[in-house]
Amino acid sequence: MSEPTPIAVIVGSLRQASFNRLAAQALIDLSPASLNMAMVEIGNLPLYNQDFDDDSPASYQLFRAQLRAAGGYVFVTPEHNRSMPAALKNALDIGSRPARENAWAGKPGAVISGSPSLMGGFGASHHLRQVLVNLDVACMPQPETYLSRVQELFDEHGQPTERCRDYLQRFLNGYAQWVKRISP
């Protein structure tokens, strides 16, 4: 059996008790043996500044190294004003620069969005997907996964409900196949 593919899980929310962070942890806990999923934190990244392209802060360097070591990416994001959070956009910019060293390029990605709204972060998901296309991330088209009323998908201990586990398992099954299909 081959080694599992390392997958960087990027959570768009900086809040430690966020539902999207709970969803990301549940994905890691439920992941198949073919994927080695781990969170890569974005909260300590200073705002992207092109002046840092030639002399990057240590946090940029570590983040980019983590991205390069990954065989793919899963983005779990809330929705802020019908788009992705600023911290996530900042991380995307940092990983893509300098342009000749885009750490995101050519790898399989997937998006899950979660929101208390009935739309489940639809706007954030689609804005994120638009940026991922530009960054040359091969974003999984199906299954699209929107966790609507995300606050109802976890119990009082932060564990996913059966319904949530079913959503996440369907996503993971699709993503494992996507990684197999896209990765060399």
Please tell me the predicted confidence (pLDDT) of residue 34: 97
Q: Is the pLDDT of residue 7 over 80?
A: yes
Q: Is the pLDDT of residue 2 over 90?
A: no
36: which residues sit within 8 A by CB, 6+ positions away? 3, 4, 5, 6, 7
C-alpha–C-alpha distance, residues 107 and 73, integer Å: 7
Cα-trace Rg, the chain: 16
Domains along the chain?
A: 5-182 (3.40.50.360)
User: Does residue 98 have a cis bond before it (omega within 30 degrees)?
Assistant: yes
pLDDT digits (tens, 9 = 90+) for 28-65: 999 999 999 999 999 999 999 999 998 999 999 999 99
Closest CA to 111 of 97, 98, 126: 126
Please tell me the predicted confidence (pLDDT) of residue 1: 60
Please tell me the predicted confidence (pLDDT) of residue 142: 96
C-alpha–C-alpha distance, residues 158 and 143, integer Å: 24
pLDDT digits (tens, 9 = 90+) for 72-117: 999 999 999 999 999 999 999 999 999 899 999 999 999 999 999 9
Determine phi and psi for 30, rounding to 5 degrees: -95, -5
Quickly state the pLDDT bin for 118 (edges 50, 70, 90). very high
Cβ-contact 70, 6 below 8 angstroms: yes
- SS3 label, residue 146: strand
Question: Residue 16, class by beta-carbon neighbours within 10 Å (0-12 exposed, 13-18 middle, 19+ buried)?
Answer: exposed
Cβ-contact 26, 164 below 8 angstroms: yes
